[in-house]
Amino acid sequence: MKIKILFILFAISAMVFTSCEDNKKKEQEDNERMEQMEAEREAEMNAEIERMDMESNSIAAKAMETDTLSTLVSALQTAEMADLLTVSEGPYTVFAPNNAAFEKVDKATLDNLMKEENQEDLSNFLEYHVVEDEITSQELVEMVNDNEGEYTITTLEGGELRFTLEGESLIITDEAGNKAKIVQADVDASNGIVHIIDAVVMKKA
């Protein structure tokens, strides 16, 4: 009889112990699941903060903040390229014509480019001002000096721009033979760098 009672007590104790262990295991699993969910939420939040920070400091955002680049911004929006220079990580180097540069362009030519049906031509025109790399003005100077006074770069559009120095000024010569000067260098952005120029550059017709 005593043995039977002891056996019952042992069985009950084992059941209680197993139940406690199961509860502890479940509690631990719940805690781990909660910690994982919290870590995932935090990672998503940090990624969103980084995205917002990048976009607010992007090339497109910097251009929008610069009054002298308002014509360029309008062209980027018309060509639906603003998103590329906002969300794309790049890096890019943009040779950004200021408003005075666009005023030198024949009005009929510019108006024609800005038409909706000529969006592809406008995109090609703008991409000729973009290089798929981040190049500072100091690096451009070094490239020119290291290559017998001139250096050629291929643009995002596929054309070429030639760089030379006139005194301390960096000069860009396009495929049509037109020249532009970098008047404000090294505007840093989250996805590249901007150099403001005093003339638009064009491919050879």
Give the pLDDT score at 83: 77
Residues 95, 60 contacting (CB under 8 angstroms): no
d(CA 71, CA 73): 5
Could you report the average pLDDT of every consecutive run of 10 residues in the chain (205 residues)?
A: 56 55 67 70 54 67 92 91 78 96 92 89 94 96 96 96 96 96 95 96 85
Q: CB neighbours (10 Å) of residue 56?
A: 12
Give the pLDDT score at 13: 55
Give the pLDDT score at 49: 43
Instruction: Say whether 205 sits in a helix, a strand or coil.
Output: coil
Every domain of the chain and the residues it spans: 57-197
d(CA 175, CA 162): 8
Give the pLDDT score at 14: 52
Give the pLDDT score at 53: 47
Give the pLDDT score at 3: 60
Fold for the domain defined by 57-197: FAS1 domain (2.30.180)
Residues 152, 160 contacting (CB under 8 angstroms): yes
pTM: 0.74
d(CA 164, CA 183): 14
